[in-house]
Structure 1
Amino acid sequence: MKARRRNTLTHAIQAALLAGLAMPMLAVAQDEAGEQARTLDTVTVTGTRIKKAEIEGQVPINTITREDLDRTGLTSLGDIIQELTGSGSALNTKFNSSGNFGFPPDGGGVGAGSAQVDLRHLGSKRVLVLVDGVRWVSEASASGVGASTDLNTIPLAIVERIEVLEDGASSLYGSDAIAGVVNIITRRNLDGGQISVGYGEYGKGDGGNTNIDLSWGMTTDRSSLFLGLSHVDQRRISAADREQSRFPVPGTGLAFGSSGTPTGRFIFCDPARAAGTPGFCGDDDNPGMAYDITPDSGVTSPVFDPNDPNGGDFHQFSTADRFNYSPYNLLLTPSKRTGLFGQFRFDITDNLQWYVKALGNRRESTNQAAPEPIFLGPAAGTGNPLSDNIVISAANPYNPFGIDLDSSSNLVLIGRRPVEGGPRVFEQEVDTQYLATGLEGTFDVGTRSWFWDVNLAYSKNKAEQTNYGSYNIFNIALALGDPAACAAVAGCVPLDIFGEGTITNEMLAFIQPVVRDRSEQELSLFSANLSGDLFDNWAGTVAFATGYEYRKYEGWYRPDPLTVAGHYNGVPSLPTAGDYDVNELYAEFSVPLFDNGAGQKLDLSLAGRYSDYSTFGGEFTPKYGLRWQVADELVLRATYAEGFRAPSIGELFGSDSRFDAQLRDPCLIGTDGSPPTGNAANCAALGVPTGAIQVNPQISVVTGGNPDLEPERSRSFSTGFVYSPAFVVDAGIAERLDLEVTFYRHNLEGAVQAIDAQTQLDLCVATLDPLFCGGITRASTGGISSFNNRLTNLGSIKTDGWDFDVFWTLPETTAGRFKVAWQNTWVTRYEAVGAAGQVQPRRIGVEVNDSAVPDWTSNFVVDWTRNAWNASWTVRHISELKEQCGDASFSPFCSDPAAGTNTLDATTYHDLQVGYRFDWLKGLNLTAGANNVFDKDPPICLSCSLNGYDASTYDIPGGRFFYVRANLQF
């Protein structure tokens, strides 16, 4: 399964890396505008490898300064970037993502405890994350080999600023930069020391967050040193502590609870029963005649009366018997992050500098889910033959039914929730290591200066996840079977699942293991770059940059041996391992076309990169740009770029795994009793008997990698203007005013993903087309027994929209200085289409699969400073969304039951911060703030998989968050 390419250069680079040499390339060059700079120069510039190229405003850039970071009151890079108006739904610590989330189709694992970034709603794996211009290693989630970057591996305290390039940039940076680039610039120069201490918690007194940052640096004539130590401790919030999250779907009680209950649900037939009587299910002409019963609450040794299933200690299973798993979940997952970072720079000569950087970071996080259910029988649909094909012996001393319960003949389903074993707890330990070194230099050719650098870097992300509270299905089957076979195995005792509180500690010791999964990713990198001015033409200086880059990716995922053997009762998976390398060459040119010497200029930029991958071959990606400075105050700009994303190790080599999707089977009676919605004739043709009931809303879906995947290819276009009017400055209205408008468009072809599982199921029932039905099989009961949903180069994603930003600095008065920033994004199109033309459910203004594409997001910030005081007010707005109610159409929270849709109202958050600076030592800053000042709760989400919230779009949990922070420089 591994793709390999070896050559002399590869071995030389690897040897250098093993020797500990590494260093980041300088991918972004930008000169800060001075006090005397023209109005237009105040707009941030990046997105080019050409040093000192005068192409300001060529591409849309969003710069988050250190002041912006401090204003948020947040301690995670991911949480901060996810608040940008151009960001989409991405994983964060508000996702309690282990347990039934299972393994997503991309082979990346669940990413528990990580924080990711999505730009333009194209997915986190299509955003390239750089640190000081160097690629950062992708996450190791301990459940797969991911394609996304975990921003929780980068301490916030070491960040000087963040530059977000919201444009296609594969020609400049290579694979993954389809939606854009996030370049995190670290702190470099500090004379003396700095200590920052902060604490925050929610208004209910929970979710405490403590952060301590220590920094020290010194600068001499020829060297600089910076050291930083950071620690963040974010505490948990339970779903039981918020009213909205105490039930699976808010307002519906137990209607959407689980049929895996502490007393057990038993659906089976008695071969001795006559046709037409309860307990008989010999043919399809007598649907629903099987027993569907559960023991009375509190009964530990239930007595069963086959002549009266509602007599004895059993009764007919109903909604009131379902299990409420929600209180066991977490709204905010605990996370401890400790990072140490350092960099040293030394000027060997006036034209040559050497530097070295290193980082070590440890994340310890936890997810929690309800006690793991044990589902047995053909209707369980787990995909594990040990549970789907189980036989429970009549000789089991606890079996109250007096007959064998055999999956091949009379058993339909058993659902037992062993709360005796406690909740499932998933603990992650994630270690990140980074080492880089290199040389930077300049030389002159005639009167022209040239810049060069060579760089080596090595980074590794390694994760281990330990799972407490899961079960060994092999041992469960043995303990439920023939007692003689159980007695022959050391430690085995017969298992009692027939009643409440019946599983003893001795039974648990045999069936409840500790499960450990591990994964790792490594990135080795070498680059060399050259930049300078070539010659003068009629309009100015032609500048260029060129370079070479080599990267090697290695990754593996090793689930617990119990899982590999197929004995794990939870979500199964198999090991994954793979590696590949890439050699790249790039060139970039800045060509002035016109300059009248009076502030009017026209510049052309050209860039191209050739990438040679060991997995699929070569790829060339070009980019073209025009920058027209109409006047000193106005710049028009446009870019066109082609891009690609190479399939990741998980996508290429990921083995079979499973995730549990929240699906509504259109052929079955809903869990709430609602009638089937699918074509009756087609359902019959699929083998679904009339009256068949969907036992659980969660259906297991099997996924896996595909070594034949091709790269994703994209076309990106952006155009807009930057306007900095001088008349407002002359009139005293503003000290500075910048207006930016950008139109963007991304067309992605061959997107690597699986068809939406609900869409595939609906199309199968509607069309009977083998393209959709081929991977879906059903049990004799009508329920889905297996669902294959594999990765492919699916189809296309097309999106476009507008950004409108205003940055206004007012003249300073006796009342102080005010700054206003208003940033907006409107999404005007979002279409995702499968390879066969099937429209995916994700679109503008719709909530689906725990994510959303709002048509308008807006951030409005007012900053105020006066002498030692400072304050800010931030307003964050998310427009209205709609979702399908599904089975919840009867819910009082469903705004339009007739249409089957629910509205998530527009949501606006207000944040306030106040600070004061004392002249003590080199300065003491005290800050206090509150996020969500007006106590706005996130809108209820009926379709979301856990807790009734969309954790990637809204502030979770609801309620005010108060914080204080002290920052001392010495």
Structure 2
Amino acid sequence: MNKKNLITLAILSGTAFTAPVVAQQANTNAEAEVEEVLQVVGSRLSLRTATDGAAPIDIISAEDLAATGMTDTAKALQYAVPSFNFPSSSITDGSDAVRPASLRGLSPDHTLVLINGKRRHSSALVHLNGTTGRGSSNVDLNAIPMAAIKRIEVLRDGAAALYGSDAIAGVINIVLKDNASGGDVSLQAGQTHKGDGEQWRASGSTGFSVGEDGALTLSAELHHKNRTNRAGLDTRQQYPLLDNGEPDPREETFDRKSFHIGAGEYENASLFANFDMSFADGRLYAFGGVSDRKSESGAFYRRAIQSNTLTEIYPDGFLPILAPDVQDYSAYVGYEWFVGEWTLDFSGGLGTSEFQYNVENSLNASMGPELTPTSFDAGTLTNEETNVTFDAQRFIPFYNNSDLSVAFGVSYRDNTYQIEAGEEASYIDGGYQDRPAGSQGFTGFKPESEVNQSRDNVGVYLEAENQLTSNFLWGAAVRYEDYSDFGDNTSWKLSGRYDVTDRFAVRGAVNTGFRAPSAQQLYFTNISTLAVDVNGETVLEQSGTFNSLSPITEALSIPDLQPEESESVSAGFVWNGYDGLAVTVDFFQINIDDRIILSNQVRPDDSPQVAQALSTVDAENARFFINAVDTKTKGLDVVVSKSFDLAEYGDLKTQVAYGFNDTEIESVNLPPLFDGIESVLFDYDEAIRMTDSTPAHSSSIGFTHTLGNWRTDLRFNYFGTYIIGDYDEGETPAEANETYGPNWVTDLSVRYAFSNNLSLVVGGQNIFSEYPQEQPVQGVFDQIFKYPNTNSPIGFNGAYFFTELEYTF
């Protein structure tokens, strides 16, 4: 097997798992191409077709991604794979720029992301607000342009026994384009039905021949979005009363649509490369890319009447703008060669994510109108990850004239996390009229928050797979990891598949897994001004997030973070029916112990120990990362596909996909200091966020019709109900629940090919302009935030219509 074959589908879980694939191929050629590749690389260990494996995987081709009309990789994946969730959010600080995504209803950091079979680094950002996955960091899929993607493979099964940490929910492998000639360019433009959110995307990819059989593929993308705004009217008093007690006349002319709630403004430039060629007696390969993005999103509007406003600068108040610069860099290089019957592979890679907080249209009120800037560098987060791996595999004669596929490997990974303080004006208390300190919208990182910490780990794995008989496939894997901070872990997996008939097979797997605390969770620390709920009222407080290195964490006996550990089991069946009908059904259960959460804030009045600890820091409350919760997730995935030959009416391909997941909290285990006040650290809202903030039911129904030069793609996407907890003192849990959904979203696109090279696409997403239900109005902010600003799977922009011109060569 050459290197190209080894890395294109290296997302197995310790055994062969070329699952029944229901790929939504655009045409017969694309379908044949995917099938041909999988016949070679259906497993890292053995040569199998797409329907011979022991675990479920989805194959989404470049044509499938393009057919969604989506301009973001993660959003396109959400509409292609029902078990994948990529909710929209607004006014959630850095999470507006790097949004969390999750698989099977678990945390964003429970899914491992690979590129060409190699581990991808995660974002430096920690999600701190009320989004799904609060307290986690995830891989920024939107840093990988769709122009560079050949296909995406989604393994819906645990894979820690092969890859180590993070692969509890599954694995996403992004395979880059690898053509030695030809290419494509495209230009898309569109806007929402409201006339805002205009965007354009220019992208292209081209391949070059290198040597006798090598290839270099370059892909680039430029993408610009204007913001959308679905805010309601702010009816609050904006100006101080006049001396006679009457309202200021400016109240009548003030623009009450002062908030920006919707998609932020966005600019992204990215370039990726993929290289492969014969060298000496083996193959040399390399790939990598760079992404540079700037987004702009609003914070809470500061009224002229508030103390955090200086009317000398902003007479009518102001809306702070968070404008982070997000940069991702990655590079991998490797060499594959052969020694006797062994195939050997040595590779190394470096990935870096930088998240620089910039705040614009703001001020530091404590510095006074003469000294304060109006824009700030509020600090930078950096996450670096270095990976070095050595893999070896071969076939050994085994029982009953079968071959035993054996592989083993060693890996080394180093993680470094850095926090760089912002400029002094972004956090200083200037003492002016006892006004709030720090840049409004996002307070800068202080020097005492600076961090430069690292940790490393070594992993060793062994896996085996065997087609014992023509009907029975089995596999096993074990992996040992040793971390420099918390110690070691051993994970294992067993899987099998039995073909009852030529058309019907059963399959299943049982495995253990783990997720090491991320470097972000270990070392992130900050003190900033946050809007927090106190006795049912939203107030601004100096809120501290403290890591395990902080004296306050030690004073409160917060234990060091330990790995999350999982046990999972899956079982299902495959039926390859007649005339191209394919059905896969898979059940699963995943138990996770010691899940890491970002706690709620503790305050001085919670206990004397808390009061004493907070007296030593410049914060009014504190929160921590802790191993606190055991959960159980049950689910079901169903995929059905069928192709129809309509004779003179063309060809029709159909697919129905359904995903169900339900997470329950088995137990909550908090530090002894908080016995009796458990709800302080882990309250009802956080429990809802972990269990019900994503739809339990989701599905899609897709039709692709081709007739001559015409192709039509029609999709109906279903998202079930989800809950946003909003518990206030005195309410019952049932009264606190705000339930949204279900929603149906319809997408339609029509493509016309003027020639073999030139095509025009006209389409729409959410063409009937479906919105979430409006929030129940219980206060002024429910009028401003008409729709839930976190966790909506369908967003809150309504319909989007676009035109795209494509040229291939």
TM-score, L = length of structure 1 = 0.69
Alignment match, 2:456:
581
CA–CA distance in structure 1, aligned partners of residues 692 and 774 of structure 2: 13
Q: Does 1:939 align with 2:773?
A: yes
Q: Does 1:804 align with 2:638?
A: yes
Matches within 5 A, 1:704-783: 704-706=546-548, 708-725=560-577, 729=578, 734=579, 736-756=580-600
Residue type of the alignment partner of 1:723 = W
CA–CA distance in structure 2, aligned partners of residues 86 and 553 of structure 1: 32
Question: Relative to 1, partners in 2 of residues 1:436 and 1:787: Cα closer, same or farther, differing over 3 Å?
Answer: same
Decide whether the 8 Å contact of 1:643 with 1:714 is kept in 2: yes
Question: Relative to 1, partners in 2 of residues 1:210 and 1:28: Cα closer, same or farther, differing over 3 Å?
Answer: same
Matches within 5 A, 1:373-522: 420=316, 422-445=318-341, 450-472=342-364, 474-476=366-368, 507=369, 509-510=371-372, 512=374, 514-522=376-384
Alignment match, 1:346:
277
Question: Relative to 1, partners in 2 of residues 1:882 and 1:425: Cα closer, same or farther, differing over 3 Å?
Answer: closer
Alignment match, 2:132:
none
Deviates further, 557-566 or 526-535? 557-566
SS at match of 1:789: strand
CA–CA distance in structure 1, aligned partners of residues 350 and 612 of structure 2: 44
Decide whether the 8 Å contact of 1:90 with 1:123 is kept in 2: no
Decide whether the 8 Å contact of 2:126 with 2:137 is kept in 1: no
CA–CA distance in structure 2, aligned partners of residues 185 and 908 of structure 1: 31
The alignment's C-alpha RMSD in Å is 4.1
SS at match of 2:109: helix
Q: Report Cα offsets for 1:766-825 as digits up to 9, x if no partner.
A: xx8889999999xxxxxxx93322221112122111111111112352211111111111
CA–CA distance in structure 1, aligned partners of residues 611 and 106 of structure 2: 28
Matched pairs, number: 740
1:130 pairs, out of 100, 114, 121, with 114
Question: Relative to 1, partners in 2 of residues 1:811 and 1:44: Cα closer, same or farther, differing over 3 Å?
Answer: farther
Q: Report Cα offsets for 1:117-142 as digits up to 9, x if no partner.
A: 21122211221111111111221349
Question: Relative to 1, partners in 2 of residues 1:43 and 1:31: Cα closer, same or farther, differing over 3 Å?
Answer: closer
Structure 1 residue 752 displacement after superposition: 1.2
Residue type of the alignment partner of 2:505 = V
Question: Relative to 1, partners in 2 of residues 1:748 and 1:699: Cα closer, same or farther, differing over 3 Å?
Answer: farther
Q: Does 1:222 align with 2:205?
A: no
Alignment match, 2:262:
331
Question: Relative to 1, partners in 2 of residues 1:59 and 1:534: Cα closer, same or farther, differing over 3 Å?
Answer: same
Decide whether the 8 Å contact of 2:659 with 2:699 is kept in 1: yes
SS at match of 1:558: strand
CA–CA distance in structure 2, aligned partners of residues 550 and 907 of structure 1: 45
CA–CA distance in structure 2, aligned partners of residues 924 and 604 of structure 1: 47
SS at match of 1:328: coil
Alignment match, 1:917:
753
SS at match of 2:620: strand
Question: Relative to 1, partners in 2 of residues 1:90 and 1:881: Cα closer, same or farther, differing over 3 Å?
Answer: closer
Matches within 5 A, 1:663-674: 663=533, 665=535
2:245 pairs, out of 294, 303, 313, with 313
Question: Relative to 1, partners in 2 of residues 1:348 and 1:806: Cα closer, same or farther, differing over 3 Å?
Answer: same
Residue type of the alignment partner of 1:168 = G
Structure 1 residue 591 displacement after superposition: 3.0
Question: Relative to 1, partners in 2 of residues 1:828 and 1:341: Cα closer, same or farther, differing over 3 Å?
Answer: closer
Q: Does 1:197 align with 2:187?
A: yes
Question: Relative to 1, partners in 2 of residues 1:121 and 1:898: Cα closer, same or farther, differing over 3 Å?
Answer: closer
1:49 pairs, out of 44, 62, 70, with 44
Question: Relative to 1, partners in 2 of residues 1:457 and 1:25: Cα closer, same or farther, differing over 3 Å?
Answer: farther
Alignment match, 2:476:
606
Alignment match, 1:9:
none
Q: Report Cα offsets for 1:572-629 as digits up to 9, x if no partner.
A: 5422321111111111111344x2x5xx32x221111111111112211111112112
SS at match of 1:356: strand
Q: Report Cα offsets for 1:850-905 as digits up to 9, x if no partner.
A: 97232311111011112221111100111234555767999xxxxx9995655424
Matches within 5 A, 1:820-831: 820-831=654-665
Decide whether the 8 Å contact of 1:426 with 1:465 is kept in 2: yes
Q: Report Cα offsets for 1:704-723 as digits up to 9, x if no partner.
A: 22252111111121111111
Matches within 5 A, 1:172-321: 172-219=162-209, 221-239=212-230, 245-247=231-233, 254=235, 262-263=238-239, 295-296=240-241, 299=242, 302=243, 312-313=244-245
Question: Relative to 1, partners in 2 of residues 1:555 and 1:789: Cα closer, same or farther, differing over 3 Å?
Answer: closer
1:356 pairs, out of 283, 286, 304, with 286
Question: Relative to 1, partners in 2 of residues 1:534 and 1:941: Cα closer, same or farther, differing over 3 Å?
Answer: farther
CA–CA distance in structure 1, aligned partners of residues 41 and 566 of structure 2: 22
Decide whether the 8 Å contact of 1:48 with 1:172 is kept in 2: no
Decide whether the 8 Å contact of 1:89 with 1:851 is kept in 2: no
Q: Report Cα offsets for 1:156-182 as digits up to 9, x if no partner.
A: 110111111122111111111111111
Alignment match, 1:403:
none
Matches within 5 A, 1:63-74: 63-74=59-70
Deviates further, 612-621 or 190-199? 190-199
Alignment match, 1:676:
none
Matches within 5 A, 1:165-176: 165-176=155-166
Decide whether the 8 Å contact of 1:85 with 1:857 is kept in 2: no
Q: Report Cα offsets for 1:55-96 as digits up to 9, x if no partner.
A: 93311112211121011111111212233555465565x533
Residue type of the alignment partner of 2:588 = Y
CA–CA distance in structure 2, aligned partners of residues 456 and 610 of structure 1: 20
Alignment match, 1:781:
none
Question: Relative to 1, partners in 2 of residues 1:419 and 1:77: Cα closer, same or farther, differing over 3 Å?
Answer: farther
1:590 pairs, out of 451, 459, 465, with 465
Identity %: 22
Matches within 5 A, 1:504-543: 507=369, 509-510=371-372, 512=374, 514-538=376-400, 540-543=402-405
Q: Report Cα offsets for 1:913-969 as digits up to 9, x if no partner.
A: 1111222xx521211111112222222245989552255333233432111111111
Question: Relative to 1, partners in 2 of residues 1:830 and 1:611: Cα closer, same or farther, differing over 3 Å?
Answer: same
Question: Relative to 1, partners in 2 of residues 1:698 and 1:71: Cα closer, same or farther, differing over 3 Å?
Answer: farther
TM-score, L = length of structure 2 = 0.82
Alignment match, 1:266:
none
Question: Relative to 1, partners in 2 of residues 1:511 and 1:223: Cα closer, same or farther, differing over 3 Å?
Answer: closer
SS at match of 2:262: strand
Decide whether the 8 Å contact of 1:132 with 1:184 is kept in 2: yes
Question: Relative to 1, partners in 2 of residues 1:776 and 1:576: Cα closer, same or farther, differing over 3 Å?
Answer: closer
Structure 1 residue 357 displacement after superposition: 2.2
Question: Relative to 1, partners in 2 of residues 1:115 and 1:81: Cα closer, same or farther, differing over 3 Å?
Answer: farther
Larger radius of gyration: 1
SS at match of 2:715: strand
Residue type of the alignment partner of 2:355 = A
CA–CA distance in structure 2, aligned partners of residues 67 and 333 of structure 1: 27
Question: Relative to 1, partners in 2 of residues 1:643 and 1:560: Cα closer, same or farther, differing over 3 Å?
Answer: same
Alignment match, 1:544:
406
Question: Relative to 1, partners in 2 of residues 1:703 and 1:824: Cα closer, same or farther, differing over 3 Å?
Answer: same
Alignment match, 2:650:
816
Residue type of the alignment partner of 2:331 = L
SS at match of 1:663: strand
SS at match of 1:619: strand
CA–CA distance in structure 1, aligned partners of residues 184 and 303 of structure 2: 51
SS at match of 2:623: coil
